[in-house]
């Protein structure tokens, strides 16, 4: 906001002109003198000052409305994100779903039961996401960042989670048949009651995995697993798992 100052009335042209030594400078001094008079007259015009106050008031009102409507804008953003996800439901490819899912999760919106079957989600970042009962069957989630995710009772059947970071995720009672976890970080993952038949755990880090009451692990490849809990590999092999080196 400009602060209005009452300007001093300019001296007369005769007084100003007397101080100009070089004749060639007089036109420039005359222009400066005229501008001083304009500034003097406008500085004393209350109408301009009122306009400036109104302008400042308009900015204040705009700021108030901006914050007052922030909730509506957030709802609109979430609605548009869900539109993207629902429109691409059951289809392959990205279709803008990665950005939409990340935005919703960043705003802590639960993604319970969402259908992401066959979706391209490579490199998606969904830390601590709530995807319980979600359908990720056949999804390509290689290199995904899903630490601390809730995937309880979800379907990851035939999904690709190679090199995914899933430390601390909960996969309790999830369907993991034919899921590829090659090279994945599965430290502290809860696999209680999960079914992992014909899956791939090649080179996966299983430190601290909770595997009690797991379902079938028949034909699941546990070759080269890292930091597996005591007794896990022996139990898996005894229940039909295999150790096949992948070339």
pLDDT of residue 26: 66
Whether 136 has a pLDDT exceeding 80, the answer reads: yes
Most confident of 21-35, 71-85, 188-202: 188-202
Domains and CATH numbers, the chain: 24-68 (no CATH), 81-247 (2.160.20)
For residue 180, what are the β-bridge partners?
160, 200
DSSP state of 227: S
The string of pLDDT tens digits covering residues 66-77 is: 566 565 678 888
DSSP state of 87: H
Cα 215 from Cα 140, distance rounded (Å)? 24
Cα 112 from Cα 218, distance rounded (Å)? 29
Give the DSSP H/E element, type plus range, for residue 84: helix 70-87
Picking from 34-48, 92-106, 140-154, which range would have the lowest pLDDT averaged per residue? 34-48
Nearest Cα to Cα of residue 204 among 228, 188, 220? 228
């Amino acid at each position: 906001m400009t602060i209005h100052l009452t300007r001093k009335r300019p001296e007369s042209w005769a007084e100003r002109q007397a101080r100009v030594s070089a004749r060639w400078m007089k036109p420039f001094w005359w222009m400066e003198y005229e501008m001083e008079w304009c500034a003097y007259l406008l500085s004393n015009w209350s109408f301009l000052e009122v306009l400036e106050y109104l302008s400042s008031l308009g900015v204040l009102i705009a700021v108030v409305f901006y914050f007052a409507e922030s909730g509506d804008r957030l709802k609109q953003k979430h609605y548009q994100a869900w539109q993207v996800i629902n429109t691409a439901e059951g289809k392959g490819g990205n279709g803008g779903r990665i950005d939409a899912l990340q935005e919703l999760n960043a705003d802590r919106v639960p993604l319970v039961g969402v259908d992401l079957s066959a979706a391209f989600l490579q490199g998606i970042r969904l830390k601590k996401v709530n995807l319980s009962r979600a359908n990720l069957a056949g999804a390509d989630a290689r290199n995904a960042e899903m630490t601390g995710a809730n995937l309880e009772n979800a379907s990851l059947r035939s999904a690709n989670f190679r090199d995914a970071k899933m430390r601390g995720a909960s996969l309790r009672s999830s369907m993991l048949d034919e899921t590829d976890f090659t090279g994945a970080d599965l430290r502290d993952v809860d696999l209680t009651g999960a079914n992992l038949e014909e899956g791939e755990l090649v080179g996966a880090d299983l430190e601290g995995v909770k595997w009690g009451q797991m379902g079938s692990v028949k034909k699941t490849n546990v070759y080269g697993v890292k930091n597996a809990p005591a007794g896990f590999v022996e139990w898996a092999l005894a229940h039909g798992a295999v150790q096949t080196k992948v070339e």
